[in-house]
Amino acid sequence: MRLWVQLLTGAMLAVAVPAANAQEQKQTPAPSPSEPKQAVPDQKQAIPDQKLDAAAAALDQISSVKENYQQQIEKSAEPAEKQRLVDEANKAMVKAVTDQGLSVEEYTAILVMAQSDSGVRQKILDRLRPSNKP
């Protein structure tokens, strides 16, 4: 059950991350039309093992980031400091996803798919670090 909660937490965090990602995208130029776009998994197509591996690794990293920053945010008394920590955590979560070779959109789509498809959910759970397994 703890793993499923972790998976749901990752999905909820993924929803919060696009706001931070959008802020960063304002500062970076848009890709040219000749550059290939990363495909976002469709509900009807199977997710390649490589993408499932990357999503599970990103989920592990996001879980660690969440735990670390949640403790810091709870200890902070100043609203400005809390906001700075939230912004820093969002950037760290985006990095956790992109370091695995996924876009935030791909990661979010995979986790949304895992919420509705027990087969995808189980494949991700099977790939999580052994120390997280019950």
Please report, for the chain, the start and end positions of each structural domain, with discontinuous segments joined by +.
2-14+49-129
pLDDT tens for the chain, residues 1 to 134: 444 445 555 555 554 444 444 444 444 444 444 444 445 555 556 899 999 999 999 999 998 998 899 888 888 888 899 889 989 999 999 999 999 999 999 999 999 999 999 999 999 999 986 654 44
**Are the beta carbons of 92 and 85 closer than 8 angstroms?**
no
51-81 burial, b at 16+ Cβ within 10 Å, e below that, comes to: bbebbbbbbbbbbebbeebeeebeeeeeeee
**Are the beta carbons of 100 and 51 closer than 8 angstroms?**
no
98-134 burial, b at 16+ Cβ within 10 Å, e below that, comes to: eebebbbbbbbbbbbbbeeeeebbebbbebbeeeeee
Q: Is the pTM of this model over 0.75?
A: no
Please give the structure tokens belonging to residue 73: 């945010």
Residue 108 CA, chain-centre distance (Å), reads 6
